Amino acid sequence: MKTGVIISGIAHGVMVLLILLQLEWNPRRPTDEIEITEVTLMSSSEFDAVQSDSPAAPDMEIATMAQPVAEVDEVTRPEVSVAPAETEMDVTEAPADRDTDPDMSAVERLAQPDVAVETTQPFTVDALPQVSAIVSTGETGASASPLFQAPPTPRAAPRIDSFAAPALPDGARVSDRTVEETAPDEAATETVEETTAEALPESVTEIVPEAQPDVPPSAAPPRATRPPRRSANVAQAAEDAAELARAAEQDAIDALAEAVAAEEPVVEQPAVTLSGGQRQGINEAVSQNWNKSIVMGKENYEQLVITLAVQVAANGAIIGDVEPVDPANPTGDFAVAYDAARRSVLRAEVIPLPAGFPEGVRLILRFDPALDIAGLN
Amino acid sequence: MAGFNRILGGAFALLLTLSSFAAPVVAQQPTLEIDVTGGVVEPVPFAIPGFIAENSASAAIASNITRVIAEDLLSTGLFREIPKAAHISGVSNFNAPVQFTDWRAINAQALVVGAVSSTGGRLTVKFRLWDVFAQAPMGDGVQLSGSPENWRRISHKVADAVYSRLTGETGYFDSKIVFVSETGPKNDRSKRLAIMDHDGAGLTYLTDDSSIVLAPRFSPNSRDILYTSYETGVPRVYLMNVDTLQRRVFDNLPGMGFAPRFSPDDRKIVLSISERGNTDIYTVDLQSGQRTRLTSGPSIDTAPSFSPDGSQIVFESDRGGSQQLYIMSASGGDAKRISFSNGRYATPVWSPRGDLIAFTKIVGGRFHIGVMRVDGSQERLLTASFIDEAPTWSPNGRVLMFFRVSSGANGAPQIYSVDITGRNLHQVPTPSFASDPAWSGLLK
């Protein structure tokens, strides 16, 4: 009995200590912080100063065309001839206007261009001009640019039970037996009948929670699953406790390994659901700005499927930048396909979303150029 | 003691468990996945305000350079220029901040800003390309300099750079076309070799019209031309340097030589030689003159073209009873037929990309320019006409040129261009009739 008290005291002491340490160690969640960088407008004088300070583009010549050797002695130059009047043709296509009249003077040695191409970086792209479109510091509150909107406020988690317990039936009495508080039995699993959610009719203009079955309060489980009874054999109980400790230790090690493997554990959130018509509305808003003319000329263009992600506000405004998802770092033809897809999202500007749409939803768009080509003739 | 160890173990487990809860936790936003289908296929709108003349000497040339760049981009059919009348803001300084909202309002997706200066006999052109909707530059600014008389080449190079950044492909504007210029009535047509820019400008003649010339082909370095001439009364293959106009004749061939082409390494040519009524394919080493016979047999094997890596040759042959396309090793041997549909196939040319073979197809009394994969699959006919013939690839493998002969008593050839998707068919301007075009590689 005394040993049990000592053990209990030590255990509680360790727990208290751990709780205290836990409060100290728990770091702040980095994602809750928003770093806002002030963007300032340049005055004309500042701009002039920048201009005067900008370095002159160097005249670096890394490729110069060699002048040809003018040895044409062995060649009989053709006589100058005048092009005859063109024969009338029945070709309907009118030739485009030429930039200049052709050189009809004589057969001349081709003038060698003296072109030097500078392929280094002659201009400092670092000093990019100020982007006037994102300088919207004058607005405040909810009407400010979505670029500077605060993150959405987390919604309160729904309570499991918000109503009073029903009154005891007549004649019932409360048991005087004391039952220790226990954790639910993890081994016990509750079988939930699988149900199929029905899509809301498209005429609904706002999101309505799915209909819940009309369950009377008395249908709730009367009490939690009872824990296994405490064994009367103390030695056996100690062995059981040791077994539980070993299992807990193993679980803790597994959890720690998992936490180390995943640097930022992700808390799963339920996916947003929309009706077919609402999804089609988003598709049309983006696809009508998706120009595939360059992509369609690519070799194996049907393989250039792009998936990108963008965060949208509740009003459909795009928050932040578009980011590639698959491929994560598009290169080559995929980079061209990604540019076209990203441009279609940016041109759309506002994604049509239904009323009551959650704030800050991450929209994942998959662009397949081989599907449904509109405007192709 | 053992019990105490268990307790310590349990405490350690609790510590580990609780410390795992202390790790940073990131709440993922709700997600919504949408498949985007459809899209549109239309020219990408771009804006190109007049390049800024940074001194008075470059005022006129700046305008010309702007137009050539715009015309180059427009000729691809991939882009549409937003007229200057629609521009909300102009660009008066090369380093001035870009008013993206103004360009976005007129739906300009790309913006080309440039400046021109001419000092000390040197012309300097610099430009930047902006992605209007991303509000970011597309690559670094580039500056080119050269003599003022080469302003066209500089313009083509700027256009190539813009095209490359927008499409992810190399351009083809700074290139040459050699072709057979034809003059005179249909029954007495004079022919001579001519060379011009891809857009028809800068035309220069390479030969006179005293003898018939056929099928000119550029070397990979774009400085030499192979062609067939009837100068001596019989067809002979000539090699001409376009810089010096010096020529070399292949006079040691056993018979008449036709349809010569260079190998990709520039070290030998492949051609068909007709001897005693039989036409076969040979290679000739340009250094040693050594001749190697690649095909044999009674059939007509002609119009050979190397693959870009030089390992294979595509050619036309009637060995199967009709004129079809075959592929064999560059060293000869067995050939594999790749064309099987109705009609006759001729003048195959391997794409610089290596993925497609362009050809002339004659079926149902009409001529077509088409492309197929190297295994013969996915054949696509791009054109249809009274006569469409002799395709040649742009340096980037995106565009084909060919010549089209109009029907009728006064029918005559003209050069046309078409995208490999079959769009953007247009005539290439020439001062007279023109046939047998051959596209050079990108000039160095």
* Residues of A whose CB is below 8 A from B23: 259, 265
**Interface list for B 241-280 with A (CB within 8 A):** 242-247
User: Among residues of chain B, what percentage have pLDDT more than 70?
Assistant: 94
End-to-end CA distance of chain B: 86
Beta bridge partners of A366: A307, B35
Amino acid letter at A143?
S
Nearest residue of A to residue B5, measured between CA atoms: A242
Residue A27's pLDDT is what? 45
DSSP states of A223-290: SPPPPPPPPS-HHHHHHHHHHHHHHHHHHHHHHHHHHHHSSS-EE--PPP---HHHHHHHHHHHHTT-
For residue B192, give the nearest of A96, A111, A106 by alpha carbon: A106
Mutation target to probe the B interface, by most B beta carbons within 10 A, among A82, A279, A283, A293 is: A293
CA distance A293 to chain B (A): 4
Contact yes or no for B347/B360 (Cβ under 8 A): yes
* Residues of A whose CB is below 8 A from B199: 98-99
Classify burial at B262, counting beta carbons within 10 Å of its beta carbon; exposed 0-12, middle 13-18, buried 19 or more.
Answer: buried
Q: Mean pLDDT over residues B274-295, rounded?
A: 91
For residue B403, give the nearest of B382, B373, B434 by alpha carbon: B434
For residue B260, give the nearest of B313, B221, B207 by alpha carbon: B313
Beta bridge partners of B124: B117, B145
Q: Cα–Cα distance between B410 and B402 in angstroms, integer? A: 19
B60 lies within 8 A of chain A by CB = no
Q: Cα–Cα distance between B14 and B8 in angstroms, integer? A: 10
> How far is residue B149 from each of residues A70, A112, B55, B62, B153, measured CA to CA in Å?
19, 10, 17, 13, 9
B356 has pLDDT over 60: yes
Q: Cα–Cα distance between A103 and A113 in angstroms, integer? A: 16
CA distance B37 to chain A (A): 6
Beta carbons of A343 and B131 less than 8 Å apart: yes
B109 lies within 8 A of chain A by CB = yes
Residue A259's pLDDT is what? 58
Contact yes or no for B243/B224 (Cβ under 8 A): no
How much of chain A is helix, strand and coil, in % rounded to 5? 30, 10, 60
> How far is residue B180 from each of residues B255, B412, B432, measured CA to CA in Å?
24, 12, 10
pLDDT digits (tens, 9 = 90+) for B83-115: 999 999 889 899 989 999 999 999 999 999 999
Residue A303's pLDDT is what? 92
Residue A377's pLDDT is what? 34
Strand (E) or helix (H) holding A109: none
Contact yes or no for B311/B331 (Cβ under 8 A): no
Beta carbons of B166 and A125 less than 8 Å apart: no
Which of A30, A358, A371 is nearest residue B37 as measured by Cβ atoms? Answer: A371
User: Among residues of chain A, what percentage have pLDDT more than 70?
Assistant: 33
Residue B299's pLDDT is what? 92
Instruction: Report pTM.
Output: 0.66
User: Among residues of chain B, what percentage have pLDDT more than 90?
Assistant: 76
Residue A18's pLDDT is what? 72
Residue B255's pLDDT is what? 82
Residue A219's pLDDT is what? 42
A109 has pLDDT over 60: no
Note the Cα A19 to chain centre separation in Å.
Answer: 36
Classify burial at A232, counting beta carbons within 10 Å of its beta carbon; exposed 0-12, middle 13-18, buried 19 or more.
Answer: exposed
Q: Which of A99-122 are b and which e, b meaning 16 or more Cβ less than 10 Å from the residue's Cβ?
A: beebbeeebebbbbbbbbbbeeeb
Nearest residue of A to residue B129, measured between CA atoms: A125
Beta carbons of B42 and A291 less than 8 Å apart: yes
Query: What is the biggest distance separating any 2 CA atoms in chain A, rounded to whole angstroms?
Result: 129
DSSP states of B369-427: EEEEETTS-S-EE---BSEEEEEEE-TTSSEEEEEEE--STT--EEEEEEETTS---EE
CA angle B159/B437/B418 to nearest 5° reads 55
pLDDT digits (tens, 9 = 90+) for B157-215: 999 999 999 999 999 999 999 999 999 888 888 999 999 999 999 999 999 988 899 99
- pLDDT category at B328 given cuts 50, 70, 90 is very high
Q: Cα–Cα distance between B168 and A240 in angstroms, integer? A: 68
Which of B11, B154, B168 is nearest residue A115 as measured by Cβ atoms? Answer: B154
Q: Cα–Cα distance between B430 and B199 in angstroms, integer? A: 9
Return all residues near A10 (Cβ < 8 A) that are at least 6 apart. Answer: B7
B59 lies within 8 A of chain A by CB = no
Mutation target to probe the B interface, by most B beta carbons within 10 A, among A28, A87, A292, A345 is: A87
pLDDT digits (tens, 9 = 90+) for A258-286: 655 555 555 555 567 888 888 899 999 99
Mutation target to probe the B interface, by most B beta carbons within 10 A, among A73, A89, A312 is: A89
Contact yes or no for A83/B408 (Cβ under 8 A): no
- pLDDT category at A130 given cuts 50, 70, 90 is very low
Q: Mean pLDDT over residues B373-392, rounded?
A: 95
User: Among residues of chain A, what percentage have pLDDT more than 90?
Assistant: 15
Task: Choose between A316 and A31: higher pLDDT.
Answer: A316
Q: Mean pLDDT over residues B105-132, rounded?
A: 94
Contact yes or no for B145/A116 (Cβ under 8 A): yes
* Residues of A whose CB is below 8 A from B17: 248, 251-252, 255-256
B398 has pLDDT over 70: yes
Which of A115, A154, A270 is nearest residue B150 as measured by Cβ atoms? Answer: A115
Task: Choose between A221 and B434: higher pLDDT.
Answer: B434
Coil/strand/helix, residue A344: helix
Beta carbons of A122 and B142 less than 8 Å apart: yes
* Residues of B whose CB is below 8 A from A119: 142
What ipTM was reported for this prediction?
Answer: 0.78
Residue A368's pLDDT is what? 93
Which of B23, B31, B431 is nearest residue A361 as measured by Cβ atoms? Answer: B31
B134 has pLDDT over 70: yes
B2 has pLDDT over 70: no
A149 has pLDDT over 50: no
Residue B441's pLDDT is what? 94
Residue A6's pLDDT is what? 84
For residue B230, give the nearest of B252, B202, B258, B201 by alpha carbon: B258
DSSP state of A350: B
Classify burial at B259, counting beta carbons within 10 Å of its beta carbon; exposed 0-12, middle 13-18, buried 19 or more.
Answer: buried
Coil/strand/helix, residue B255: coil
Which of B133, B209, B410 is nearest residue A347 as measured by Cβ atoms? Answer: B133
Q: Mean pLDDT over residues B218-234, rounded?
A: 91
Nearest residue of B to residue A321, measured between CA atoms: B134
Q: Mean pLDDT over residues B128-143, rounded?
A: 93
Q: Mean pLDDT over residues B373-387, rounded?
A: 95
| Orientation of helix A276-287 relative to helix A333-348, angle to 10° | 110
Beta carbons of A256 and B16 less than 8 Å apart: yes
Nearest residue of B to residue A62, measured between CA atoms: B144
Which of B26, B205, B353 is nearest residue A107 as measured by Cβ atoms? Answer: B205
Residue B52's pLDDT is what? 95
B156 has pLDDT over 50: yes
* Residues of B whose CB is below 8 A from A268: 28
B433 lies within 8 A of chain A by CB = yes
Amino acid letter at B136?
A
A241 has pLDDT over 70: no
- pLDDT category at A23 given cuts 50, 70, 90 is low
> How far is residue B59 from each of residues B64, B96, B424, measured CA to CA in Å?
9, 19, 33
Amino acid letter at B437?
P
Beta carbons of B20 and A374 less than 8 Å apart: no
> How far is residue B231 from each of residues A167, B182, B215, B422, measured CA to CA in Å?
117, 16, 14, 38
